[in-house]
């Protein structure tokens, strides 16, 4: 088959009446539970997101050579078989020689070549005869119906292929199993309990790093930029996004949940909760907490603007515009009352169109949400919470990023 013949075949597949273009697709390695037979983890070496539709057409066209695991309007999952591998090698024949010398030339072809090695080495199926490798495609951004699609969405977020807060993730906790992680290997808790005596008597009991439904960021993602620093692997969950370079996360109280993260150069020594987005150039101080949406009744995702400073042990429950400061140790929440003098209110109105100047000088935190250039402070003499136009420029230490 020539490259031209390959293109003609793809074009013909795309004219089929039941063909539809996916949002994302890929082939994953599935860790399958011995007892539950559930997928405990799905690892994608290549994630195709709104791209590489020629490869998708070839994979989709081989569905009849595989066993369908899950299929509905929003997603498709099927198990990779020997027949699939052989047929895919034939379809991708024009690209194999180049891929063998440079796996990055055609990454989906490189995946197929790895499937060929798995077939040759007897690794295509699990010891229980289940599918170790699975193809997954997402067509519509609806509630995930499989672990495979859930991991695909989380990876899309971590790689920045899908913007934070852009994907439907409701119900994901119900799909993922709570497992014991040893390195990058998930173990069923029930299996460990049933085999505890034998494993410990043989000195084979695994070193358990943590128990959770989610793996850690670095277990699934290679940082895309050399100047991203994570000083503790436990502090970032898979599904977080760490920007386009320059992000630094110190150990201690720092943490980033899934579907949350930073947009670029940022210092983080605090907690970035689920669905929180932190702008470039901002500094989240030691122990500072930003309210998320998973618990506590908050349903309004918080964004922190560019070049903001959240002081040590502060709490932020509203969105901040650019150039804001929250002093250490205070809580800036939607219902917190702040006093703003008339002079400072006029200064804030100059940089915030539509800002309402109140004669009373009393503002609730929610009225200041998203406003630029606000400095939040507790008056040390009176204990009154005050806000005013920030006159301090926030600059990160360039040597650290």
Which secondary-structure segment (H or E) carries 315?
strand 315-316
The dihedral region occupied by 298, where left means phi > 0, alpha psi between -120 and 50, and beta the remainder, is: beta
Alpha helices in 235-341 (DSSP H): none
- Per-residue CA distances from 68 to 47, 72, 78, 84, 298 (Å): 20, 11, 4, 12, 39
Q: Which of 75, 148, 188, 269 is catalytic?
A: 269
- List the helix and strand counts (H, then E) for the chain: 11, 27
Bridge partners of 375, per DSSP, are 325, 388
- CB atoms closer than 10 angstroms to residue 188: 21
Q: DSSP letter for 237, please.
A: B
Report the C-alpha gap between 54 and 66 in whole angstroms: 19
The answer to whether 236 touches 262, Cβ cutoff 8 Å, is no
- CB atoms closer than 10 angstroms to residue 317: 21
- Per-residue CA distances from 38 to 31, 128, 170, 198 (Å): 8, 12, 20, 23
Report the C-alpha gap between 366 and 334 in whole angstroms: 4
| 51 included as an active-site residue | no
Report the C-alpha gap between 131 and 117 in whole angstroms: 15
**If 0-12 CB within 10 Å is exposed, 13-18 middle and 19+ buried, where does residue 254 land?**
buried
Angle (deg, nearest 10), helices 107-120 and 53-61 = 30
Beta strand 261-262 pairing with 277-278: parallel
Residues labelled as active-site residues: 269
């Amino acid at each position: 088959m020539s490259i031209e013949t390959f293109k003609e075949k793809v074009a013909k597949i795309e004219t089929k009446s039941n063909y539809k273009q996916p949002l994302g697709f890929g082939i994953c390695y599935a860790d399958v539970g011995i007892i539950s037979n559930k997928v405990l983890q799905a690892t994608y070496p290549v994630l195709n997101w709104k791209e590489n539709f020629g490869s998708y057409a070839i994979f989709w066209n081989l569905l009849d050579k595989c066993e369908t695991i899950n299929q509905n309007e929003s997603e498709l999952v099927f198990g990779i078989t020997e027949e699939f591998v052989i047929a895919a090698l034939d379809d991708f024949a024009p690209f194999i020689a180049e891929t063998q010398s440079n796996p990055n030339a055609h990454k989906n072809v490189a995946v197929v070549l790895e499937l060929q090695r798995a077939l040759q080495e007897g690794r295509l199926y699990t010891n229980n005869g289940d599918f170790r490798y699975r193809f997954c495609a997402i067509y519509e951004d609806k509630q995930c119906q499989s672990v495979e699609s859930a991991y695909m969405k989380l990876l899309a977020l971590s790689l920045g292929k899908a913007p934070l807060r852009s994907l439907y993730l409701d119900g994901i906790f119900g799909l993922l199993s709570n497992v014991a992680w040893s390195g990058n290997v998930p173990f069923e808790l029930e299996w460990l309990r049933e085999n505890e005596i034998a494993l410990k008597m043989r000195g084979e009991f695994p070193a358990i790093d943590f128990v959770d439904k989610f793996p850690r960021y670095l277990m699934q993602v290679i940082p895309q930029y050399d100047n991203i620093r994570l000083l503790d692997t436990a502090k970032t969950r898979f599904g977080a996004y760490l920007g386009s370079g320059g992000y630094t996360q110190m150990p201690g109280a720092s943490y980033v949940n899934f579907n949350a993260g930073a947009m670029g150069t940022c210092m983080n020594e605090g907690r970035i909760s689920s669905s929180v987005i932190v702008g470039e150039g901002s500094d989240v101080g030691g122990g500072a907490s930003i309210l998320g949406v998973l618990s506590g009744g908050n349903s309004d995702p918080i964004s922190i603007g560019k070049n903001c400073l959240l002081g040590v042990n502060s709490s932020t429950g509203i969105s901040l515009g650019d150039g804001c400061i929250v002093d250490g140790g205070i809580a800036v929440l939607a219902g917190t009352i702040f006093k703003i003098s008339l002079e400072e209110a006029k200064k804030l109105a100059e940089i915030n169109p539509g800002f309402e100047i109140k004669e009373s000088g009393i503002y609730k935190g929610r009225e200041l949400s998203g406003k630029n250039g606000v400095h939040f402070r507790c008056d040390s003499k009176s204990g009154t919470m005050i806000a005013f136009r920030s006159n301090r420029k926030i600059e990160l230490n360039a040597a650290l990023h």
